[in-house]
Amino acid sequence: MLGYYLDLAVRSLKRSPGLTALMILIVGFGVAASMTSYSVFRAVSGDPIPWKSSRLFVPQIDIWGPKGHSDGSSGNEPPEALDYTDAVALMRDHRGKYQSAMYRVSPSVVPPDPHMHPINVGGHAVYSEFFSMLDVPFQFGGAWGADSDAQHASVVVINSKLNQKLFGGANSVGKTVNIDSKDYRVVGVLDNWNPKPTFFDVVNTGGFTTGQEDVFLPFTRAIDVGMGNDGNTNCAEVPTGSGFVGLQQSSCVWIAYMVQLDDKAAVSAYKDYLDGYFRDQKASGRFNWALNNRLRDLPAWLESEHVVPSDTKISLLVALGLLIACLVNTAGLLLAKFLRRSSEIGVRRALGAPRMAIYVQFLVEAGTVGLSGGLLGLLLTWVGIHGVSWVLPKEIASLARVDLSLLALTLAIAVLATMLAGLYPTFRASRVQPALQLKTN
Amino acid sequence: MSLPPMIAALRKHKAGVVLIALQIALTLAIVCNAVFIIYARIQNVQRRTGLDETNLFLVTQQWVGAPSGDSPADLEKLDTMLREDLNALGSMPGVESVTPVNSVPLFPSSWNGSESLKPGTDMRAGNARTTFYFGDEQLLKTFGLHLVAGRNFTAADVAHKALRDSSEPNVIIVTKPLADKLFPQGDALGKAIYLDGSNTPSTIVGEVERLQVPSVGSWASSFVWNSTIAPLRMNSNFSRYAVRTKPGRLEAVMRAVPSKLYAVNAMRVLDDDSVKSFKDIRAEAYRADIGMAVLMGVICLILLAVTAAGIVGLTSFWVGQRHRQIGVRRALGARKIDILHYFQMENLMIAGGGALVGIVLAVALNRVLMSKFEMQSMPAYYVLAGLAVVVALGQIAVFVPARRASNVPPVVATRSV
């Protein structure tokens, strides 16, 4: 029966090629515009570590109090990052399963090949647990151990791209890399790990950057050698000491922090610990304002940091509006098309076709339009995604891509939406009075 | 022509009428807001930075194995390296002037703080927020700024300090908007102010007409013209230089920069992004804004085309359906123009009704965007212009089917379908 209806649908659509083409075009453009925006939105709003994001937390301590809010820009939020004193204290107390303080560095690397000029690399100074906390994949070797943190060891983890550049992609574990004129021993090579957004340090990277994470070295070592931070430094008062040491002694915030807490009990225990830490500091005279800590899990943290650009959300909203407008349009055209065939419906009903049959027939026709529109939409979505990479910022455009699930979704939305648009016209068609139609003709 | 029969006829096609009206309402709401977004972005992009942007480029480089600059001896060494680079760049043929800088307008790196009329206030309180540019006596010339009061820095004013040294400069030059904010009487010249809650005064010796802050983000929109220039060479393991070339020499000089600097000292990092023309800096800074404007423009065009096509389609159907009635009207003496006017009038009523709903939707969408995305309130004339556009669109779209209707011959009335 379905085959017959499909045949009827195709015949009917062929009979008014102009109207059919119009509907297909409208559905195609509507679906393509919204799928293009959605592909960008999906790329920037996805969970960067879905299997673990609800167990990763970012602690915030209000170390500035009223001073930090006097320019009115931050509401009542505590600083987004930690100062050196508190970051180190939290690491020392070690209350989470895994945790790491981290700051962004941008050192130079001198390649072993004397003909090559020095290159600049990006990366982070982290603690050893960073790698297990974030399930970082390795191609060769692995993370350094906790003992290396304690010994402030000169070890480094490099990414596969830097490994390719320096060692031609061979297993370089045990080899030496010259970073900022000091030698570091390679302990691990990452296996193509470049999460977007750079969720572990949103504060210093802004989430989406074209920057690479080429090197990871021990936090303690980076501090020892005075490797300056490359990210943001925010202060509520000017540091009294000078230099990188002065920064470490100041209340300026520049260190990102993440902790893994596996269950509710662990979360509330950590929250208590954080609050206790604040109260202890307050008792010792460091603060004279009320407790104002935060402990957000990763999704909530990314939300509060507005990692998804608002442009992307606005585009999605507007494109959805366009899709709805296209569907309203299609509904109008289908209505016209179906009601024009009132006499045909009358004949079918008079010959004994139940209402249900009319329903199925016209929904199949709407679905056929939807499917054709969807196929056109696929093509246009592909064009659209390549088009936006022209106009959007590189760090975002490069993330939007066509994949199987996007293709399937495009088709499904086109068919379902068109059938939805066809529901009312179909309903009207099924209500056609056979007697009336037969009489007037 | 009387309206009651027309309304009576429309009541026979309730669903079609509602769908067209709804379509027009949605179109109005989306197009108004999209055009408003486009306008805001274009306005952003068209702001003048205050620089003479032609023949200007920026060099960013990093020394390998440079001292940290925290001890006095290290600091002197870093400053010597910096001055060697400045001399090398300044001596290149085709170079007009060169200055060390921490940033330039539209470049994604900035140094921001506050200024206060009193010493020792909270760093984040102060009388005005500002961005800081650090450079030497060549900065004004290299940037191409207009000095409107006071004097430029002299070589004797220029000091040098480490990146994280928090001491403040003795003299500064500020932009006119900043001077007027701090001293509304217009007597800023020669006055002392306090930077970042400091206790040591800095004296305003000059005012420049205009100089934009580096950041184009919304967080900096409250102090976008508040810039302060301090006569400082900032010493660190990296440095930036702004270079102005003679007209027509920009590309040649930019190409020659890496080898010139490597010849001074090869232990440094210069990569693809190290030498950048101001034109490229501008393009990158506003890429998101321009992209958004293009995207909204495309969506508007699609939407208007779809709506027009929908009106053509549905009106054509109605014309076909009423073929006989039109014939009867013509046979009873209606002129062609009456039939044309009938369909145009009908469309005007539907479009007008839809547009009224659309105005409400447009304002509602604008409120949503305002509350969630820091958008501005849309002025009323956008909605009115949108109204005019959708009504005109309706009239244009209806013209072809309406003319076809007017060409129905009266003889149709005598035929059976």
Give me the mean pLDDT over the B325-334 stretch: 87
Substitution target in A41, A109, A322 with the highest count of B β-carbons within 10 Å is A322
Give me the mean pLDDT over the B255-263 stretch: 94
pLDDT at A201: 92
* Euclidean distance between CA atoms A276 and A90, whole angstroms: 12
**Average pLDDT value for chain A:** 89
The answer to whether residue B3 neighbours chain A at the CB level (below 8 Å) is no
pLDDT at A342: 82
- Residues in A closer than 8 angstroms to B397, CB to CB, are none
pLDDT over 90 (residue A75): no
Give tens-digit pLDDT for B188-223: 999 999 998 888 999 999 999 999 999 988 888 889
Give tens-digit pLDDT for B40-60: 999 999 999 999 999 999 999
Q: Minimal Cα distance from B373: which residue of A?
A: A310
The answer to whether residue B273 neighbours chain A at the CB level (below 8 Å) is no
- Residues in B closer than 8 angstroms to A121, CB to CB, are none
Q: Minimal Cα distance from A312: which residue of B?
A: B292
- Residues in B closer than 8 angstroms to A395, CB to CB, are none
| DSSP code, position B211 | -
Across the interface, whether the CB atoms of A326 and B124 are under 8 A apart is answered: no
- CA-based nearest residue to A85, from A248, A238, A236: A248
Q: What does pTM read for this prediction? A: 0.86
Across the interface, whether the CB atoms of A180 and B309 are under 8 A apart is answered: no
- Answer yes or no: are the C-beta atoms of A130 and A203 closer than 8 Å: no
Phi, psi angles (nearest 5°) of residue B277: -75, 155
Query: For B309, which of A22, A245, A337 is closest by C-beta distance?
Result: A22
- Residues in A closer than 8 angstroms to B365, CB to CB, are 321
| Residues B65, B68, B73, B77, Cα dihedral to 10° | 50
Min Cα distance B247 → chain A (Å) is 30
Min Cα distance B58 → chain A (Å) is 17
pLDDT over 80 (residue A287): yes
Q: Kindly indicate the confidence band of residue B1, based on its pLDDT and cuts at 50, 70 and 90.
A: low
For residue B272, what are its two tokens?
A: 């693809």
The SS3 assignment for A427 reads helix
Min Cα distance B206 → chain A (Å) is 25
- CA-based nearest residue to B212, from B281, B306, B126: B281
Between A301-310, A368-377, B29-38, B252-261, the lowest mean confidence (pLDDT) is in: A301-310
Query: For A335, which of B19, B306, B320 is closest by C-beta distance?
Result: B19
pLDDT over 70 (residue A187): yes
| DSSP code, position B411 | G
Q: Which residue has the higher pLDDT, A435 or A109?
A: A109
- CA-based nearest residue to B80, from B92, B91, B67, B90: B67
The answer to whether residue B7 neighbours chain A at the CB level (below 8 Å) is no
Min Cα distance A94 → chain B (Å) is 30
- Residues within 8 A of A (CB atoms), B 174-193 only: none
The SS3 assignment for A172 reads coil
CA B368 to chain centre: 21
pLDDT over 70 (residue A70): no
DSSP per residue over B23-44, as a string? Answer: HHHHHHHHHHHHHHHHHHHHHH
Substitution target in B103, B298, B322 with the highest count of A β-carbons within 10 Å is B298
Substitution target in A34, A242, A335 with the highest count of B β-carbons within 10 Å is A242
Substitution target in B78, B115, B121, B123 with the highest count of A β-carbons within 10 Å is B123
pLDDT over 70 (residue A441): no
* Euclidean distance between CA atoms A325 and B40, whole angstroms: 24
Across the interface, whether the CB atoms of B64 and A393 are under 8 A apart is answered: no
Amino acid at B58: L
Q: Kindly indicate the confidence band of residue B294, based on its pLDDT and cuts at 50, 70 and 90.
A: very high
CA separation, residue A325 to residues A67, A71, B20 (Å): 50, 43, 10
Q: Which residue has the higher pLDDT, A186 or A426?
A: A186
- Answer yes or no: are the C-beta atoms of B132 and B234 closer than 8 Å: no
Find tokens 């501090």 and name the residue: A223
Residues in chain A: 441
The SS3 assignment for A74 reads coil
Strands (E), B261-394: 268-269, 275-277
* Euclidean distance between CA atoms B186 and B297, whole angstroms: 43
Query: For B123, which of A108, A110, A238 is closest by C-beta distance?
Result: A238
The widest CA-to-CA distance across chain A, in whole angstroms, is 98
* Euclidean distance between CA atoms A108 and A168, whole angstroms: 19
Q: Which helix (H) or strand (E) covers residue B50, if one does? A: none
Amino acid at B268: R
Domain spans of chain B?
3-45+288-414, 65-266
- Residues within 8 A of A (CB atoms), B 240-269 only: 262, 266-269
Across the interface, whether the CB atoms of B164 and A71 are under 8 A apart is answered: no
- CA-based nearest residue to B207, from B175, B180, B172, B171: B175
- Residues in B closer than 8 angstroms to A424, CB to CB, are 15
- Answer yes or no: are the C-beta atoms of B202 and B208 closer than 8 Å: no
pLDDT at A112: 85
Query: For A314, which of B196, B307, B369 is closest by C-beta distance?
Result: B369
Across the interface, whether the CB atoms of A329 and B307 are under 8 A apart is answered: yes
